[in-house]
Structure 1
Amino acid sequence: MKVAVTGSSGLIGSALLPALQADGHEVVRIVRRPPGDPSEIRWDPAAGVLDPTALRGVDAVVNLAGAGIGDHRWTSDYRQRLRSSRIDGTRLLAETLAGLSPAPRVLLSGSAIGWYGTAAGSAAVALDESAAPGDGFLAGLARDWEAATTAADQAGLRVVHLRTGIVLSARGGMLPRLLPIFRLGAGGRLGSGRQWLSWISLIDTVGALRFLLGAEEVQGPVNLVAPHPVTNAEFTTALAHALRRPAVARVPRAALRLALGAFADEGVFASQRLTPAALLGAGFAFTHPDLASALSEALRSGT
């Protein structure tokens, strides 16, 4: 299979590419800079530039492009960057793919569990992909991000929306930011610690993407989360145990709001208790279904 990937230099993309190549797929990177070799295609989402002829013969596309959610304070300019880096690129990609003949068979397109809003953890049971959308900036961003694939869906591509949870990896994301603090014994729960965290290991994230490329019966939203979400307090205890360090501190909500602004409420303190019903129903087997094994592998191998 010939697979084109956007966002290939990010945490997930950089792990996905070698996995696809090991599976025997031909991989094409869609990049914003001038191409360095024939395996790269240049695009400019802001200018609406993507040469459709360069995508001829592509069987599948994995769209992972987007600015980091927690990388900066959410100023009005950065909010716009978060939206444009996802929505403009996804719409350009979907419209370009829709115009190809033959079109690729499948588009796996990025989304996030932010779609469910900040209170998805108030349910008595974990929510699946049929749950109603939530409120807030991230929920609106995810809804518009998914809607940007409409042209591809209408053209008959199998479109999968990757509602990705917190990806646990020593290479990037949340975990490397926490490790120095916890290794000093200064880690602790955030606020009450009762907020739910829906997580997934990097290994399972890549495994799920590989699985979804061939799972022809799966389309629409897919929760990329492990089967067992945990509370922030449970996560804190598990990480401290894995590092064999104490974690008795408590970070007040007001302090994080002061440091992080609006991201504190919609990111750090969001309570999202979700289940990967679509993946489990399709027969995907998790390598790390429980938090202890995921943390152990990330810390042992640096994955």
Structure 2
Amino acid sequence: MHILITGGTGFIGQHLIKQLDDHQLTIVTRSPGNAQKILGSQHQYLNNLGALTDLDRFDAVINLAGEPIAQRWSIANKQKICSSRWDLTARLSELFSQSSKPPSCFISASAIGIYGNGRQSVDEQTSLCSFSETGADEQFAHSVCARWEELAQSAEQYTRVSIIRIGLVLGSQGGALAKMLPAFKLGLGGKIASGSQGMSWIHIDDLTALIMYLLTSQQCQGIYNGTAPNPVDNLTFTKQLGKTLSRPTIFPAPEKILTLALGEMAQLLTEGQFVLPKRTQDSGFVYKYPHLGPALADILHH
């Protein structure tokens, strides 16, 4: 297959590209020279989508691009977070419409932030309208994802579109876990805020396997949660991480201090969701790491 990929130099993209070794890849990246050093010279590189007038030469498109959301949400940063997702996705959907022989599938990332924050479990069938009662429609993460998905779905009349709402991705080489490890290894970790907020996680291997599964499963289209089937609260996550590292977890991070340090973005840490991948499992996808303990053991003891 000839696959067009955006976001290839990110944590998920790098991991996925290793699994796609036997395919021909064209990677869209702002700095092709740097990307070539990270990903290898065997791939083709484009520094923007402006060079393309259609997608006729590709068999599939995987869209993972987006400025990291875990940064202070200043007005300028919010703008970057939105435009890095929306502009690229809009352009890809436009290129699908301009293709006489469009790629057979479009896999586009989203995030579980679309569900807003809440204590009850949610899955792909949960009505997003119900979150307006909690004020979630005012939440930045929700509005970023809602528009991102809408732009991807506008390609549905031309191709099979699968959208993955990605949770907290666990791996040793990047993502949230890599940021947490230094403190936890020193025994300075602890629960965040109340510790009761949901953490809907997924092992990086399961996420890349899910992308591969959606790539090749012709019957799969629509929304899929990219989370493990057993989300936990933050206190449980904290204790399990400490146990796996054989370290105490007695230094909590109070909500007030996080809000002072991080501003509005602190809500990504202090609030959360319990997201179940019901439709993902119903589609036939099988998780290698459905439980947190074995997932962390695999990541940290390899």
Normalised to the residue count of structure 2, the TM-score between the two structures is 0.91
**What is the CA distance between 1:28 and its match in structure 2?**
1.7
Q: Once superposed, which parts of structure 1, at least 4 consecutive aligned residues long, lie more than 4 Å away?
A: 34-38
In structure 1, distance between residues paired with 2:251 and 2:193:
10
Letter in 1 for 2:48: D
CA displacement, residues 183-236 of structure 1 (integer Å, 9 cap, x when unaligned): 111110011100010000001011100011012222111100001000000000
Q: Residue 188 of structure 2: SS of its match in structure 1? A: coil
Q: Structure 2: how far apart are the matches of 1:278 and 1:219?
A: 11
Structure 2, unmatched stretches of 5+, are: none
Measure, in 2, the Cα distance between the counterparts of 1:259 and 1:98. 44
Structure 2 CA distance, aligned partners of 1:91 and 1:190? 36
Contact 2:115 2:122 in 1 (8 A): no
The match for 1:198 is 200
Q: Is 1:164–2:166 an aligned residue pair?
A: yes
The alpha-carbon deviation at position 132 of structure 1 amounts to: 2.2
Alignment of 1:153 with 2:161, yes or no, is no
Shift, 1:148, TM fit: 1.1
Give, in angstroms, the shift of residue 113 of structure 1: 0.2
* Rounded Cα–Cα distance in structure 1 between residues aligned with 2:161 and 2:102: 12
Assess if the C-alpha contact under 8 Å between 2:26 and 2:46 holds in 1.
no
Match of 1:27 among 25, 28, 37: 25
1:248 to 243, 247, 250: 250
Shift of 1:74: 0.6
**Do the aligned partners of 1:50 and 1:92 also contact (CA within 8 Å) in 2?**
no
Tell me if the contact between 1:7 and 1:65 (Cα under 8 Å) persists in the aligned partners.
yes
Q: Distance in 1 between matches of 2:173 and 2:275?
A: 24
Q: 2: CA distance between counterparts of 1:142 and 1:40? A: 29
Distance 1:34 1:176, change over 3 A: closer
Q: Alignment partner for residue 219 of structure 1, among 215, 218, 221?
A: 221
1:5-16 correspondence to structure 2 within 5 Å: 5-16=5-16
Paired position in structure 2 for 1:272: 273
Q: 1:38 to 1:50 in 2, by over 3 A?
A: farther
2:178 alignment counterpart: 176
Amino acid at match of 1:4: L
C-alpha RMSD of the superposition: 1.6
**One-letter amino acid of the structure 1 residue matched with residue 26 of structure 2:** V
Name the aligned partner's letter for residue 93 of structure 1: L
**Alignment pair present for 1:40 and 2:44:** yes
Letter in 2 for 1:144: R
| Displacement after TM superposition at 1:6 (Å) | 0.5
**Residue in structure 2 matching 1:128, options 116, 120, 123:** 123
Deviations 1:6-58 (A, max 9, x none): 0000000001011011xx3222212223576684242536xxx24135x4321
Q: Is the 8 A contact 1:50 1:96 kept in 2?
A: no
Shift of 1:262: 0.4
Kindly, what percent of the aligned residue pairs are identical?
35
Distance 1:104 1:163 in 2: 22
Distance 2:12 2:42 in 1: 22
Amino acid at match of 1:111: S
Taking structure 1 as the reference length, the TM-score comes to 0.91
Q: What are the Cα deviations for residues 106-165 of structure 1, in whole angstroms up to 9, with x where unaligned?
A: 10001000000122xx21xx321011224211101000001112441122x111111000
**Matched pairs, number:** 288
Moved more, 102-111 or 146-155: 146-155
Q: Please say if 1:84 is aligned against 2:120.
A: no
SS of the residue 2:62 aligns to: strand
